[in-house]
Amino acid sequence: MSQRSCLSVILAAGEGTRMKSAMPKVLHAIAGLPMVAHVVKAAEAAGATGLALVIGHGAEKMREAAQKFAPKAETFVQEKRLGTAHAVLAAREAISKGYDDILVMFGDTPLIDAAALAAARQKLAEGAAVAVIGFRPPNPTGYGRLIEKGGHLVAIREEKDCSEAEKEIGFCNAGMMAVAGKHALRLLDQVGNNNAKGEFYLTDIVEIAGAEGLDVVATGASFESALGINNRAELAEAESIWQARRRREAMLAGVTLIAPETVYFSHDTEIGADTIVEPNVWFGPGVKIASGAKIHAFSHIEGATVASNCDVGPFARLRPGADLRQKAKVGNFCEIKQATIEEGAKVNHLTYIGDARVGAGANIGAGTITCNYDGFSKFFTDIGEGAFVGSNSALVAPVAIGKGGYIASGSVITESVPDDALAFGRARQKTLPGKGKELRERFASAAAAKKKAAE
């Protein structure tokens, strides 16, 4: 089958009114990725060499989004919504290019398993003209039934048209199918709209193909894989299923999740074996965690790279551009953004490091911040290897702290510090005996007078 070309036609023109959103339904995200992009990924994993997106509502938004997740896809607009067969034929130009296999998919089924798509394609390779993907829901009520006879699919019957015996069938239509490219346009062009809604139904090609003596079969997919998303409650259910799958996958790959149900991954999270993830950790897009790292509870990580044996959190936030090298430490209530924390460096407490480099083995004291933004532009702070920055210091960028430099606690540093130098950037302390008592008495008297006036 590896030699067979395949076009995936993904139907994504639905308005999704039940989502109660101005955004096209299929652009709502699962694990940080539009649900239609999950469908694209499944198609590609099943060997699709071409992609055709049939769009309608929010066409410009769809085209813009597709440039990110499917830059090589062709887009076709279904001007009027006249049924699923009509939608597929909107991509006639792509279908006519002579692909061996045509996969027809839906943009609102983000959990579809690539293996189910590949199984349908395999049936085409074995000689079938049409392979319909079915599933077995816990309750088949409301679903179209797949009517099989002698190992062949003879019809897809909507429940309202089923006999009592047919209603007992648990094998239902998932909507997706594979069609041999050499037959696709001929079969689709024969679909009529002589029905109550006056629409052209893709399912009709089953009986059309059968009447021509072509082989039509059904293949299976899991119930979860076939789930379609119509509202935000179902979107949340799909997110839950996706997360459960990904957590299990991570744990089987050697990652320890202490409370798996509280950890949330993004579609592209990479996490190495022997990493330990404590409860309530959120991984946003673009995160790479190497082996042996420890991510403590309540940490929020997005667009960051964490090398092996790093220690992060608890309550740490790594923002895009954070780059932690081996054995680096970012502790509680610290925020790192667009900054490199080199090998063995420590940023332990209540600290913000942005647009900066913290050299290997450096220590950043509690309450330190890099003042990197002047309201208009960002500036860089360079902290050398082995430097020590005392607690509650403000490093006003652009500034450099040399290798082995030492910053006294409470300093505001506005000028670069040479290697091995000690820098103070604070006013000299002055102590006035008795002045504290005098101030307290003055403030107490003023407060009393204010209270009396209010009465």
User: Catalytic site residues?
Assistant: 349
Distance from C-alpha of 443 to C-alpha of 455, rounded to nearest angstrom: 19
* Six-digit token string for 450: 């204010």
What are the C-alpha distances in Å from 378 to residues 28, 354, 396?
33, 9, 11
AA identity, residue 285? P
List all residues 6 or more positions away from 118 whose beta carbon is below 8 Å from its beta carbon: 1, 46, 47
Cα three-residue angle 342-345-348, rounded to 5 degrees: 130
- Secondary structure string (H, E, C) spanning 282-311: EECCCCEECCCCEECCCCEECCCEECCCCE
- Secondary structure string (H, E, C) spanning the chain: CCCCCEEEEEEECCCCHHHCCCCCHHHCEECCEEHHHHHHHHHHHCCCCEEEEEEECEHHHHHHHHHHHCCCCEEEECCCCCCHHHHHHCCHHHHCCCCCEEEEEECCCCCCCHHHHHHHHHHHHCCCCEEEEEECCCCCCCCCEEEEECCEEEEEECHHHCCHHHHCCCCEEEEEEEEEHHHHHHHHHCCCCCCCCCCCCHHHHHHHHHHCCCCEEEEECCCHHHCCCCCHHHHHHHHHHHHHHHHHHHHHCCCEECCHHHCECCCCCEECCCCEECCCCEECCCCEECCCCEECCCCEECCCEECCCCEECCCCEECCCCEECCCCEEEECCEEEEEEECCCCEEEECCEEEEEEECCCCEECCCCEEECECCCCECCEEECCCCEECCCCEEECCEEECCCCEECCCCEECCCECCCCEECCCCCCCCCCCHHHHHHHHHHHHHHHHHHHHC
Q: Which residues pair with 149 in a beta bridge?
A: 152
Give the burial class of 406: count Cβ atoms within 10 A of its Cβ; 0-12 exposed, 13-18 middle, 19 or more buried. middle
